[in-house]
A = this chain, B = another copy of it.
Amino acid sequence: MAGSIDVMLRELNLESVESLPDDFDPTAVIKDHVPPVINGDKLGNGKEQVREIVLGRNVHTSCLEVTEPDDDDEVTGEREAQMASVLARYRKSLLERTKHHLGYPYNLDFDYGALSQLQHFSINNLGDPFIESNYGVHSRQFEVGVLDWFARLWELEKNEYWGYITNCGTEGNLHGILVGREVFPEGILYASSESHYSVFKAARMYRMDCEKVNTLISGEIDCEDFRAKLSLHKDKPAIINVNIGTTVKGAVDDLDLVIKTLEESGFTGRFYIHCDGALFGLMMPFVKLAPKVSFKKPIGSVSVSGHKFVGCPMPCGVQITRLEHINALSRNVEYLASRDATIMGSRNGHAPLFLWYTLNRKGYRGFQKEVQKCLRNAHYLRGRLTSAGIGAMLNELSSTVVFERPQDEEFTRKWQLACQGNIAHVVVMPNITIDKLDDFVNELIEKRAVWYKDGKRKPPCVASDIGQANCLCELHK
A-B contact pairs, 16 of them (CB 8 A): A14-B373, A16-B434, A30-B285, A30-B287, A55-B338, A58-B161, A58-B323, A63-B145, A69-B362, A90-B142, A97-B136, A121-B313, A122-B313, A197-B345, A206-B206, A314-B349
Stretch at the interface among A36-44, A216-224, A233-241, A453-461: A36-44
Q: Are A66 and B33 in contact (CB under 8 A)?
A: no
Answer yes or no: A302 CB below 8 A from chain B CBs.
no
Q: Are A315 and B56 in contact (CB under 8 A)?
A: no
Stretch at the interface among A111-119, A250-258, A259-267, A464-472: A111-119
Answer yes or no: A436 CB below 8 A from chain B CBs.
no
On chain B, the residues within 8 Å of A120 by CB distance are 110-112, 313
Answer yes or no: A176 CB below 8 A from chain B CBs.
no
On chain B, the residues within 8 Å of A37 by CB distance are 152
* Contact mask for chain A residues 118-142; partner B; CB cutoff 8 A; 1 contact, 0 none: 1111111010001110111101111
Given the contacts A56-B339, A158-B60, A330-B56, A307 and B346 also touching, CB distance less than 8 Å: yes
Q: Which residue of B lies closest to A118 (CB)?
A: B91
Given the contacts A55-B339, A376-B20, A34 and B201 also touching, CB distance less than 8 Å: no
Q: Which residue of B lies closest to A424 (CB)?
A: B134
Whole-angstrom distance between the Cβ of A185 and the nearest chain B Cβ: 9
On chain B, the residues within 8 Å of A151 by CB distance are 38
On chain B, the residues within 8 Å of A158 by CB distance are 38-39, 41, 58, 60
Copies in the complex: 2
Given the contacts A33-B286, A103-B134, A124-B106, A360 and B153 also touching, CB distance less than 8 Å: no
Q: Are B119 and A14 in contact (CB under 8 A)?
A: no
* Contact mask for chain A residues 392-432; partner B; CB cutoff 8 A; 1 contact, 0 none: 00001000000000000000110011111000000000000
Whole-angstrom distance between the Cβ of A284 and the nearest chain B Cβ: 10
On chain B, the residues within 8 Å of A18 by CB distance are 376, 380, 434
Q: Are A365 and B32 in contact (CB under 8 A)?
A: yes
Answer yes or no: A198 CB below 8 A from chain B CBs.
yes
Mark out the residues of chain A between 316 and 344 whose CB falls within 8 Å of any chain B CB in the assembled complex.
323, 326-327, 330, 332-333, 335-340, 343-344
Whole-angstrom distance between the Cβ of A255 and the nearest chain B Cβ: 17
Please report the C-alpha to C-alpha distance between residue A167 and residue B343 in the assembled complex, in whole angstroms. 11
Whole-angstrom distance between the Cβ of A334 and the nearest chain B Cβ: 10
Nearest 4 pairs between A and B by C-beta?
A97-B136, A315-B346, A63-B144, A21-B383
Whole-angstrom distance between the Cβ of A365 and the nearest chain B Cβ: 7
Answer yes or no: A47 CB below 8 A from chain B CBs.
no
